[in-house]
Amino acid sequence: MRKAWARSWCAVLASLLLAALWGCAGGGKGGDRGRETPRPEDGGDGRALIATLTRGIEVHRLLDRPFRGTLGATLAKYSAQPLGLPERQIELWREEGLRIVAVPVEEKELEKLIRKTAHEPRIERINLGIVPEWKALATAPRAEGSKFVRVGGEVGAFADGWFRLVMRAYPVTLSGEERLRVEMIVQFHQPRRDPLHPDPPREERMGVFIPTTALSIDLDGRWAVLITAERPEVSWGEEGAKAPAAGGEEDKGGEARAPAKDGAEGDQKAKGDAAKGAAEREAPAPPPMGPEGPRVRTAGEEALISPEGETRFVLILVPRMK
């Protein structure tokens, strides 16, 4: 009796399950049976999904060796003017050891620039797409012990972390036109993982952000952006990178000249002034107080140039608007 009751109950459940499945397939109503499942507007071939994944930022990551001295000459003809950045913003970046210029976005011109810039056979090309959270573009080795770094014109100590350049990119609409907003900043990354409650997005934000390196650009797809690091005092020219002379503008050579005066008194005064000036120039400079310490690098240099100074990152951000 119990076995028969169990078989009957199983049959009832099977009937109910079949009815439920039939109702889902037919939309729950007899008149909707046979109706096809709605397809995406792109015809169901995935083109809309692919377009969503490819829109955003494409990153070319190159390696340059500063001792070859060719990067400054290669990039001397480019400027940041087409990016619409304020002059003060560009100057702040330069003071922090960072350089930014606009470069052609056309494939052939971009490939030509990359071949001329890169000195290593390995070139990374990454399609990041839309980047809503901070993501590292380049990461320096971990700082061993405490390291002194120049930030905002002042020297501070950094320890237990590493410098990196991070970015995020997302679409915005300005005056009815779509733009791709790219935000970048140097961070001294100090993640602390909680083994019981891991939170990767929160860990990515852990550390110290350098406010003087914060930069925001709205790209319309006509220009790509090249970013690298350089000593603040170095100027780029067609002959390569040049640092200012040790004497600055004051060291121009020549003899000191006194205002012309009439008669022997003026001649005597001029001769005296000339002799005094020559003696001052020949006098040895006072010795420095103590040994000269190593040069303190900027935050931008720490993020993009290797500790020994022989290799640096060159980053090209290409906006893909369609």
Alpha carbon distance 165, 30 (integer Å): 60
Question: Does residue 51 carry a pLDDT above 80?
Answer: no
Q: Specify whether the CB–CB gap between 84 and 218 falls below 8 A.
A: yes
Q: Which helix (H) or strand (E) holds 109?
A: helix 107-117
Lowest model confidence (mean pLDDT) among 158-162, 226-230, 282-286, 313-317 = 282-286
Alpha carbon distance 55, 128 (integer Å): 9
- Nearest Cα neighbor of 311 from 132, 124, 140, 159 is 140
Residue 283: per-residue pLDDT:
54
Q: How confident is the model at residue 78 (pLDDT cuts 50, 70, 90)?
A: very high
Instruction: List, for residues 222-260, the tens digit of each pLDDT value.
Output: 999 999 999 999 998 766 666 665 544 443 333 334 344
Q: Which three-class secondary structure string do you get for 224-275?
A: EEEEEECCCCCEEECCEEECCCCCHHHCCCCCCCCCCCCHHHHHHHHHHHHH
Please state, for a pLDDT cut of 70, what percent of the chain lies above it.
65
Instruction: Copy the structure tokens of residue 238.
Output: 């067609």
More confident site: 170 or 52: 170
Alpha carbon distance 88, 272 (integer Å): 47
Residue 68: per-residue pLDDT:
73
Residue 319: per-residue pLDDT:
95
Instruction: Copy the structure tokens of residue 223.
Output: 């220009």
Residue 286: per-residue pLDDT:
57
Residue 164: per-residue pLDDT:
96
Question: Does residue 129 carry a pLDDT above 60?
Answer: yes
- From residue 77, give the alpha-carbon distance in Å to each of 74, 81, 101, 112, 267: 7, 12, 10, 14, 51
Instruction: List, for residues 147-202, the tens digit of each pLDDT value.
Output: 999 999 999 999 989 999 999 999 998 888 899 999 999 999 988 877 787 777 77
Question: Does residue 62 carry a pLDDT above 60?
Answer: yes
What average pLDDT does range 46-54 have in this prediction?
53
For the whole prediction, is pTM greater than 0.85? Answer: no
Q: Specify whether the CB–CB gap between 316 and 60 falls below 8 A.
A: yes
Residue type, 82: P
More confident site: 52 or 218: 218
Question: Does residue 306 carry a pLDDT above 60?
Answer: yes
Alpha carbon distance 303, 124 (integer Å): 18
Instruction: List, for residues 89-123, the tens digit of each pLDDT value.
Output: 999 999 999 999 999 999 999 999 998 888 776 68
More confident site: 145 or 31: 145
Per-chain mean pLDDT for the chain: 76
CB under 8 A, 24+ apart: contacts of 236-239: 236/72, 236/73, 236/75, 236/76, 236/99, 237/72, 237/73, 237/76, 238/73, 238/76, 238/77, 239/73
The one-character DSSP state at 47 is H
